[in-house]
Amino acid sequence: MKLRKLVETYSLWAFLVALILVLAFRTDFDFVQPQNAANIISQMSVEMIIALGMTMVIITAGIDLSVGSLVALTGVLGTMALTVVAGLPLWLAFLIAIFASVLVGFACGSFSGFVITRFGIPPFVATLAMMFVCRGLAFIVCRERPVEIPYEYEQLKFLGMGILGKNLFGVEWFPGIPLSGIIMLAGIVFFHVLLSGTVFGRQIYAVGGNEEASRLSGINVKKIKFFVYAITGGLCGLSGIIQAATLGSGDPKSGDKWELQVIAAVVVGGTSLFGGRGTIIGTFVGVLLIRVLAVGVNFLGFTRFWQYVVLGSVLLLAVLLDTVSKKIRS
């Protein structure tokens, strides 16, 4: 019994470690140099920030397909806000841009949440609709062309640049852990505490575990559901402006199929699509695992499409493991 629980909890970690070891040996330990750690962190941060929200949504037995499109829309609108406020001091302009995109994301997420809770439309359909609308709007508002960050605000790129630990412990962590990575870590801590240590968090699990029972025991189910979508939207906005800042422009094409990647990562991380179960740490491992796979495929010089094959297999395996262990338990 104990052993099974141990396997359940740490099988993913074990797989991750094994994968990294294999990659390390295959690349003459190039893969485990500190630079690559910084590289992987900067790549995964934008996805992880969204995955924080997605984990909560999936714990309530919902789904959010609009996140990729929201990254595009908020990135475009955030950079457009920068062009509008030209002339303001740097810090104020940055705050406005970040605030604008988070707000847009929050508004779109709120709308999804509203439609889902008020009219009882299945989350899959409501957010699918939102996905199309936002992708279309992203292209329309910028007239189909990427919006460049104005010259005077080019320093916004600091969001994606390496800042921390450029020279830590005598090792040059080139290019350093970017600010986006630090935001990601802060987010992980915050949402981990929120989910495991607060009433709101426990209510999220309750709603996902048994909606009817939660309602009868006095939990405001609609409020909980509404907020998980709204928060996810806001996190997409944060991710969108970081992505735009790193790319140097708000690109309506960005975030393509991210919803599927993020959902895959959350599921690999052990969150149940039926709701009620899942952790932020698990999601972190899921996102990390998928990113390690992607970077590993590039390091080995295989064609990009192997990445999809491996990702699909890992996803299936993770869900199989979950289903089988559930069956054994019952």
End-to-end CA distance of the chain: 13
Beta-carbon count within 10 A of 46 CB: 25
The C-alpha atoms of residue 179 and residue 45 are separated, in whole angstroms, by 9
Please, which residue, 175 or 209, has the CB nearer to another protein? 175
Structural Rg of the chain based on CA atoms? 20
User: Minimum CB separation from another protein for residue 328, in Å?
Assistant: 38
Angle of helix 305-329 relative to helix 280-300, nearest 10 degrees, comes to: 150
The C-alpha atoms of residue 129 and residue 124 are separated, in whole angstroms, by 9
In the set 26, 145, 202, 223, which binds another protein (CB under 8 A)?
145
Stretch of 121-129, 160-168, 226-234, 271-279 lying at the interface with another protein (CB under 8 A): 160-168
Tokens 């295989």, residue located:
302
Beta bridge partner(s), residue 249: 148
- Does residue 209 touch another protein according to CB under 8 A? no
- Does residue 26 touch another protein according to CB under 8 A? no
Give the total of residues touching another protein (CB under 8 A): 38
- Does residue 174 touch another protein according to CB under 8 A? yes
- Does residue 146 touch another protein according to CB under 8 A? yes
Please name the residues in contact with 89: beta carbons below 8 A apart, sequence gap of 6 or more: none
Q: What one-character-per-residue DSSP string does 279-296 give?
A: -HHHHHHHHHHHHHHHHH
- Does residue 181 touch another protein according to CB under 8 A? no
Stretch of 125-133, 182-190, 246-254, 275-283 lying at the interface with another protein (CB under 8 A): 246-254
The contact pattern for another protein, residues 300-329, with x = CB under 8 A and - = no contact, is: -x-xx-------------------------
Please name the residues in contact with 83: beta carbons below 8 A apart, sequence gap of 6 or more: 147, 150
Among 72, 61, 65, which residue's Cα sits nearest to residue 101?
Answer: 72
- Does residue 78 touch another protein according to CB under 8 A? no
Strands 147-148 and 249-250: antiparallel
Could you list the beta-strand ranges (E) of the chain: 147-148, 162-164, 177-178, 249-250
Stretch of 58-66, 108-116, 142-150, 234-242 lying at the interface with another protein (CB under 8 A): 142-150
- Does residue 237 touch another protein according to CB under 8 A? no
- Does residue 167 touch another protein according to CB under 8 A? no
- Does residue 45 touch another protein according to CB under 8 A? no
Tokens 């080019």, residue located:
154
- Does residue 8 touch another protein according to CB under 8 A? no
Beta bridge partner(s), residue 164: 177
Q: What values do phi and psi take at 62, rounded to 5?
A: -105, -170
Q: What one-character-per-residue DSSP string does 96-110 give?
A: HHHHHHHHHHHHHHH
In the set 12, 134, 295, 311, which binds another protein (CB under 8 A)?
295
In the set 4, 17, 144, 317, which binds another protein (CB under 8 A)?
144
In the set 251, 265, 271, 311, which binds another protein (CB under 8 A)?
251
User: Minimum CB separation from another protein for residue 93, in Å?
Assistant: 19
User: Minimum CB separation from another protein for residue 253, in Å?
Assistant: 5
- Does residue 118 touch another protein according to CB under 8 A? no
- Does residue 235 touch another protein according to CB under 8 A? no
Interface residues with another protein (CB under 8 A)? 27, 30, 33, 35-36, 39, 42-43, 139, 144-146, 148, 157, 160-162, 174-175, 178, 243, 246-249, 251-256, 294-295, 298-299, 301, 303-304
